[in-house]
Amino acid sequence: MSEHVSRSISRRAALASMGAGATGLAMLDDAVVAEKDPAAQVVDRGSNLKITDVRMFYVAGKLYVRIQTNGNITGWGETFGLNARVAMALVAAMAEGLKGENPTRIEHLWQRLYRGPRDSRGGPYMTNVISAVDMALWDIAGKAWGVPVYRLLGGPTRDRIRLYPSATSYKVGPGGPRQFAATPQMVQGYVDHVAEFRRRLGPDAAIMLDAHCAMPPAFLIQLANAIEPYDVLWIEEPAVPGNIEVFKRLKDAIKVPLATGERDRTIWEFIPYLHEGCIDILQPDVGACGGISQMKKIATLAEAYHVPLAPHNASTVLGMTASFHAIASIPFFLIHEGGRGYNPGNVARVSWTIDKQGYASLPQGPGLGVEIDQQAVEKMHAKMPKNGGWPNPRHGHDGAIADY
C-alpha cells in the first residue's frame, strides 16, 4: 500500500471517528435540552388512535353516545328530544363512516358526518346526533392529552360559571300554549308571578320569562309591555324558529331583551338573528346545536355582534358538563341553565361543584371530566320503551292544535 493511500485511509478513519464523536455529543446535547425543555418531550398521543366502536344508549329519556378506541380510551356524549329507535339507527349508519378513523380529527369528522349525505344534512336528527358524537370525540381528545377539553379550546376565560335557577336567579314558565291575544286576567297573572319573584329574590336577582314559543306575537307584545317595569333579564323563545320576520316584528315592539336558540342548529341557523339584530342573547344547546365544535363557532359569531351566550340545557350532567367546557373558553357569556344538574340513576360522576350563590366550578380532569358507570347505563338502556307516543298539543278552549 502506498504512503499516499495509507494517509488517505487514515484521514477518512479520523474523520469518521470525529463524526461519530460529534454525533454522540449532539445526541447528548439533545438529551440535555429535552430534559430542560418539556416541549421537546411532547408526544402526539392521538396520532395512532382509531375508532373501534360507536353505540347509542337510552338513559331515562336521554341518549348517550359511546365511542371506543384501540387505545383503550372511551368518549361519551349526549343528545335529547329524538325518537330513540330512529336516532339509534342513524348512529349505526354513522358508525360505518367513523370506524377506523382517528377520533382526534374532530373538525374533519364533523364535516364528514354533516356534509356527507347531501340530501339529508341538517335538521334535528342529523345535528342532534352529531352533537353527541362531537362531545365524545372531544372527550377522547382531552383524555389522550391528559387535559380538560377547555384547555384544547384556548384555555379558560373565567373561573366559574353562573347557573340558573339558583338563590339569585329564576325563570318563569309559560304555563302551556296560549291563544292569539291575551285577556287582562291572563296578563295580570303573569305580572303578579314576575312581581312576586322580584320581591322574593331582590333587586340583584336575574328573573327571566320563558315564552317557550307558546305565546303568539300579539299575546307576547301585550305581556311584554306589562312586565317591563320589573327589569326582566330576557324573554326566552319569543317565537317559533323559521321566520325571521316574526322575530324582527317582536323586536320592534318589545323593549325587554329577547333570547332564543335552543331549537336552532349550527352557525347557519344562528347567523340570521345576528345579521338582523333581532335577538339580544343566544341560547344554543350543546346537545342540539352541533356539539362543542359548533357552540364555539356560534360564540365567535355572537362576539362579533356583541351578543352574549346563555346556553339552554336539556341534558343530564354529561351534556351539561360538555357545555361548561365550551362556555369556559369563550369571552361573551351571561348565565347557564341547569340548576344542580340532572343525573338519572347517578350514572355519571362529575368533577365540578356548585356554591351557594349558584356558580359552578370549572370541570377538572382529562376530557370532559365525567366518569360514566357503564353497567348502570346498560341497565337503564335495557328498560327502553318499545314504542314512543306522538305528541298531541291542543288548545283547551277549542281543541285546535297548539304551536309551541
Indicate if 306 belongs to the active site.
no
Please check whether residue 162 lies inside any domain of the structure: yes
Please check whether residue 83 lies inside any domain of the structure: yes
Cell for 69? 378506541
Taking CA atoms, 364 is separated from 77, 99, 135, 142, 326, in Å, by: 17, 29, 16, 11, 14
Q: Is the pLDDT of residue 230 over 90?
A: yes
Are 226 and 233 spatial neighbours (Cβ–Cβ below 8 Å)? no
SS3 281: strand
260-272 per-position pLDDT tens digit: 999 999 999 999 9
Q: From CA 389, how far away is CA 245, in angstroms rounded?
A: 33
Query: Pick the catalytic residue: 108, 193, 212, 306?
Result: 212
Q: Is the pLDDT of residue 28 over 90?
A: no
Q: What is the pLDDT at residue 151?
A: 98
317 and 205 inside one domain: yes
> Among residues 89, 116, 147, which one ends one of the domains?
147
Q: Mean pLDDT across the stretch 233-238?
A: 98
Query: Pick the catalytic residue: 312, 325, 336, 381?
Result: 312
208 and 347 inside one domain: yes
Please check whether residue 223 lies inside any domain of the structure: yes
Q: Is the pLDDT of residue 21 over 60?
A: no
- CATH code of residue 283: 3.20.20.120
128 and 250 inside one domain: no
136 and 230 inside one domain: no
Q: Is the pLDDT of residue 6 over 90?
A: no
Based on its alpha-carbon atoms, the radius of gyration of the chain, rounded to whole angstroms, reads 27
Please check whether residue 344 lies inside any domain of the structure: yes
Please check whether residue 385 lies inside any domain of the structure: no
143 and 166 inside one domain: no
> Among residues 147, 165, 190, which one ends one of the domains?
147
Q: Is the pLDDT of residue 391 over 60?
A: yes
Please check whether residue 29 lies inside any domain of the structure: no
172 and 229 inside one domain: yes
100-134 per-position pLDDT tens digit: 999 999 999 999 999 999 898 999 999 999 999 99
Q: From CA 307, how far away is CA 281, in angstroms rounded?
A: 6
Q: What is the pLDDT at residue 393?
A: 86
- CATH code of residue 104: 3.30.390.10
196 and 225 inside one domain: yes
Q: From CA 165, how far away is CA 233, in angstroms rounded?
A: 13
Q: What is the pLDDT at residue 23?
A: 46
189 and 62 inside one domain: no
pTM score, whole prediction: 0.88
142 and 156 inside one domain: no
Cell for 396? 283547551
287 and 158 inside one domain: yes
Cell for 359? 356558580
Indicate if 212 belongs to the active site.
yes
Q: What is the pLDDT at residue 25?
A: 46
Q: Is the pLDDT of residue 188 over 60?
A: yes
Q: What is the pLDDT at residue 177?
A: 79
By DSSP bridging, strand 258-260 and strand 234-236 are parallel
More confident residue, 2 or 359: 359
Q: Mean pLDDT across the stretch 339-365?
A: 96
> Among residues 147, 178, 198, which one ends one of the domains?
147
Please check whether residue 383 lies inside any domain of the structure: no
Q: What is the pLDDT at residue 396?
A: 81
Q: Mean pLDDT across the stretch 232-249?
A: 97
Number of domains the chain is built from:
2
Residue 178, domain extent:
152-368
263 and 305 inside one domain: yes
Please check whether residue 386 lies inside any domain of the structure: no
164 and 127 inside one domain: no
